[in-house]
Amino acid sequence: MFITTDEAKKKALNAARMLSMSGEAEFSNWNNVVVGEPVLVRDLHGRPGYWLVPFLSEGRLVGFARITGAGEVAAIGALSGAPVVTGITSVQALERVKTSLNFDVDERLAEPVFVYDSSPGREAWLIETSKSGRPWRWIFVTPTFIYERRAGIEPDLSME
């Protein structure tokens, strides 16, 4: 059973509190962090993968936790400079794609979905296009770049 948003928030907050007491200077001020609204990260086929939970201090994003569907803390880390835990919003991702790429006349764009591309932590906004009602290509948008491949094709990780 996949945990709820509220359960993910509790797990993340407990992890942040413990980390603030760890003695690591980077996290020493995390005893006052609050959790923001978790983002559900899906796999490439739309299934729930894990929660990405933002940590906020004085209204600013300072870190994140990845919480698995089973409620385990998979990763926790500090962030600086990002306005949102996803790096950019879905609206920004769609706008970047529309202004950066060319599309066939009959190519349609779906709404962005936040996904992990093959492995947790490899996160991006996925915009699937279709032609004649069939999936055509997957366009991945991160804060720093855009990449794409044919829809339904898993990445070749041996090339990395």
Q: Whole-angstrom distance between the N-terminal and C-terminal Cα of the chain?
A: 33
pLDDT of residue 26: 86
Residue 80 has pLDDT above 90, yes or no: no
Confidence of residue 23 (pLDDT cuts 50, 70, 90): confident
Residue 85 has pLDDT above 70, yes or no: yes
The token duo for 110 is 């779906």
Distance between CA 80 and CA 13 in Å, rounded? 18
Residue 145 has pLDDT above 90, yes or no: yes
| pLDDT tens-digit readout, 101-141 | 999 999 999 999 999 998 999 999 999 999 999 999 999 99
Contact 120, 75 (CB under 8 A): yes
101 or 158: which leads in pLDDT: 101
Lowest mean pLDDT among 7-16, 25-34, 59-68: 25-34
49 or 119: which leads in pLDDT: 49
Mean pLDDT of 49-70: 96
* Per-chain mean pLDDT for the chain: 94
12 or 153: which leads in pLDDT: 12
Instruction: List CB contacts of 118: < 8 A, sequence separation 6 or more.
Output: 44, 154, 155, 157
Q: pTM above 0.95?
A: no
Contact 56, 35 (CB under 8 A): yes
